[in-house]
């Protein structure tokens, strides 16, 4: 990140007048933001949304519902993390297979792989999840051999279909971002295509990919909450928040807390991604090359 450099390059080193102007601007901006927040707070207070009884089950340990609320949150967060971990693990395996297949198969054999990738890359993930769920039910696919409830696996499979093709693309970009000499040298010393891929290109690509993978985990974490919207019946964090708000009738407060939890977890992960990226960029080329292919939305 070259933020500081860019920022300073956009304007001159401020002189006394410019500094004063910037200061005035800063203060005015702060006042404006404070005024907007105050207005929101006043409106919320008017509507009784800041009343203690709506918040205390969430924030007051002496409230009799506090324990139950946080117990449910813990279960919901666990369910969210389980779904997200399974989804990222499956996506990684399938994604690497897809990516390698796309790079190594011949022109004709590659076609179904490319079609698969384009298909699931082009579909909204919420549609994919609903499709997987309903199609498996309609075709009576039995997931009983897998641990955990079926709803978890519908979610995981749906998320995997989408995210594995993204990972395949990240992997391909990672390999392409390596210096050509790497592959050429490997072949020059007599390695086969497969050896070149598995012992020279992939290990380096993985290093380059790591930050992008962490970013993808954020995407997956966020997308687990789609289960609550489509009525899948998997009790993840957002659904638990809805459960709590239905009993206590405090949707604003519950959504605020659940949203804050997602933000905290994802923010920590995004910092981790940045940190890893910075560490890697000391040793190897362009870690952001892979990330640029697929913005983590």
Q: Which of residues 36-75 bind another protein (CB under 8 A)?
A: 39-40, 43-44, 47-49, 51, 53-54, 64-65, 68-69, 71-72, 75
Q: Is 294 in the site for another protein (CB under 8 A)?
A: yes
String of DSSP letters for 179-217: -HHHHHHHHHTT--HHHIIIIIIHHHHHHHHHHHHHHHH
Q: Is 270 in the site for another protein (CB under 8 A)?
A: yes
String of DSSP letters for 60-120: -TTSTTHHHHHHHHHHHHHHHHHHHHHHHHHHHHHHHHHHHHHHHS-TTTHHHHHHHHHHH
Q: Residue 199 CB, nearest distance to another protein (Å)?
A: 32
From 77, 79, 92, 130, residue interacting with another protein (rule: CB under 8 A)? 130
- CB under 8 A: which stretch of 123-131, 173-181, 190-198, 205-213 binds another protein? 123-131
Q: CB–CB of 179/285 below 8 Å?
A: yes
Q: CB–CB of 285/209 below 8 Å?
A: no
From 85, 182, 222, 289, residue interacting with another protein (rule: CB under 8 A)? 222
Gap between the Cα atoms of 232 and 129, Å rounded: 9
Q: Is 112 in the site for another protein (CB under 8 A)?
A: no
Q: Residue 29 CB, nearest distance to another protein (Å)?
A: 3
Q: Residue 296 CB, nearest distance to another protein (Å)?
A: 8
Q: Residue 25 CB, nearest distance to another protein (Å)?
A: 4
For residue 252 the two structure tokens come to 């604003």
Q: Residue 178 CB, nearest distance to another protein (Å)?
A: 20
Q: Is 297 in the site for another protein (CB under 8 A)?
A: yes
Task: Please tell me the chain's helix, strand, coil percentages from 3-state DSSP, rounded to the nearest 5.
Answer: 80, 0, 20
- The residue (of 196 and 250) whose beta carbon lies closer to another protein is 250
Longest Cα separation, the chain:
76
Q: CB–CB of 158/128 below 8 Å?
A: yes
Site for another protein in 238-267 (CB under 8 A): 238, 242-252, 255, 258-259, 262-263, 265-267
Site for another protein in 162-201 (CB under 8 A): none
């Amino acid at each position: 990140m070259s933020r500081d450099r860019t920022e300073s390059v956009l304007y001159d080193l401020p002189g006394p007048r410019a500094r004063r102007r910037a200061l005035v601007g800063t203060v005015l901006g702060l006042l404006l933001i404070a005024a907007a927040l105050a207005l929101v707070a006043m409106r919320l207070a008017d509507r009784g949304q800041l009343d203690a009884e709506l918040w205390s089950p969430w924030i007051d340990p002496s409230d009799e519902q506090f324990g139950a609320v946080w117990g449910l949150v813990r279960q919901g967060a666990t369910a969210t993390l389980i779904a997200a971990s399974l989804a990222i693990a499956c996506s990684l395996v399938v994604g690497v297979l897809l990516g390698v297949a796309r790079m190594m198969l011949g022109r004709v054999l590659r076609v179904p792989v490319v079609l698969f990738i384009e298909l699931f890359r082009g579909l909204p993930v919420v549609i994919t999840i609903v499709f997987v769920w309903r199609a498996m039910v309609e075709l009576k696919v039995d997931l009983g051999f897998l641990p955990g409830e079926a709803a978890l696996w519908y979610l995981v499979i749906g998320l995997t279909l989408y995210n594995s093709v993204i990972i395949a693309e990240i992997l391909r970009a990672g390999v392409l971002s390596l210096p050509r000499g790497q592959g050429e040298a490997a072949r020059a010393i007599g390695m086969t295509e497969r050896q070149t891929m598995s012992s020279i290109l992939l290990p380096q690509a993985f290093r380059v990919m790591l930050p992008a993978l962490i970013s993808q985990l954020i995407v997956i974490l966020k997308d687990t909450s789609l289960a609550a919207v489509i009525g899948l019946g998997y009790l993840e964090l957002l659904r638990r928040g809805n459960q709590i708000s239905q009993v206590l009738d405090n949707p604003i407060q519950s959504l605020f807390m659940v949203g804050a939890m997602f933000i905290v977890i994802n923010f920590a992960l995004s910092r981790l991604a940045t940190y890893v990226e910075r560490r890697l960029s000391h040793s190897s080329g362009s870690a952001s090359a892979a990330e640029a292919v697929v913005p983590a939305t």
